[in-house]
Amino acid sequence: MLRCMALAAVLSVATACSSDSSAGPSSGLAYVRVINATFLDSSATTPPAPYRGVPIDVLIDSAAGSPSFLNVAANSVSDLSDGTGPAPGRLNAGYHAVPAGVHSFVARVSGLTPEGPSFFTTDAGTQYLPKQYLTGNTYYTFLIAGKAKPQATGVLPTPVLNAPTDFGYDFPLLIDDPFTPPAVGDVLQARFHVINAVPFSATDGTGTGVFIFVTRTPSLVGIQYLGYADYRYASQYINLTGGTVYVSIANSDGSVIYTQQQITFGAGEVRTLVFQSNRQSVPLTGYDPGASSADFTLSNIKDNQY
């Protein structure tokens, strides 16, 4: 859910939420993409690093083909090599067009024989099939972040269901806003938001909220953060004058920087930055988040251009 927050201006950066429905495609279509931040407990076979990123399938209406997402790679965003389709899909933003209306969703580890259970589990310990109304002319990011239980192989093994907390209680569908940035002095600003898709920013894999800093130099000394992204959620959109800046993801006072990336924002651009783990396997014991900026990364996605 988009939130507007009043934050102090830094480097002529202002925050706002905007929407221009006239800029989008037909109201008969919604657009969905997938972020995969799923880690599998494979400690029985790969000690001493018990968790590793794994590919997943996300089925829409249980379809084995489009618009479902099959074999989304570990620690990745879906279909960024696909430059076809209506804006912003043609900008490699990873969206699939889906008819507006009610749809069901399944998310599970790819490549299991037989197919593994969905990640969506009730408090009673049973699987359920969540359904969501997708509004036309609306862009969604389906964020699958958490720890999947390992499954036995063989003939019709009993599936090992995830706990409800493994992938969160909230339905993980975020609303994107890839529409026109505001103008300052007749020049369009750039705008971006950050999606927090890192389970292992906390040692137990339950994630933690992160703060977003935008600076002209690598230093964060004395600089106030401009946004906040809770685990499995997105920050509000941040508007800024086009140019090259450092975007840092850190704790609240900037004393621990998880990752920092120099990014050039062009006038009229809308971008999504996905905070992800660089590691394909993360030992939980003694893991020190932020000890090295190489542990994390920001995937930089251009959602639209005006």
Task: State mean pLDDT over 74-94.
Answer: 65
**Count of C-beta atoms within a 10 Å radius of residue 106:** 20
Half-sphere CA count of 155, side-chain side, radius 13 A: 0
* pTM as predicted: 0.85
pLDDT tens digits for range 218-228: 999 889 999 99
Domain 1-19+179-306 falls in which CATH fold? Immunoglobulin-like (2.60.40)
What does the radius of gyration of the chain's CA atoms come to, in whole angstroms? 19
Q: How many CB atoms lie within 10 A of CB 79?
A: 19
Q: Is the peptide bond before 114 cis (omega within 30 degrees of 0)?
A: yes
Percent residues over pLDDT 90 in the chain: 46
Structural domain boundaries in the chain: 1-19+179-306, 25-176
pLDDT digits (tens, 9 = 90+) for 99-114: 999 999 999 999 888 8
**Mind spelling out the 3-state secondary structure of the chain?**
CCCCCCCCCECCEEECCCCCHHHCCCCCEEEEEEEEEEEEECCCCCCCCCEEECCEEEEECCCCCCCCEEEECCCEECCCCCCCCCCCHHHCCCCEEEECEEEEEEEEECCCCCCCCCCCECCCCCECCCEEEECCCCEEEEEEEEEECCCCCCCCCCCCCCCHHHCCCCCCEEEECCCCCCEECCEECEEEEEEECCHHHCCCCCCCCEEEEEECCCCCCCCCCCEEECCCCECCCEEECCEEEEEEEECCCCCCEEEEEEEEECCCEEEEEEEEECCCEECCCCCCCCCCHHHEEEEEEEEEEC
Give the pLDDT confidence of 173-218 residue by residue, as tens digits. 999 998 899 999 999 999 999 999 999 888 778 889 999 999 999 9
User: 140 pLDDT band (50/70/90 cuts)?
Assistant: very high
pLDDT of residue 22: 36
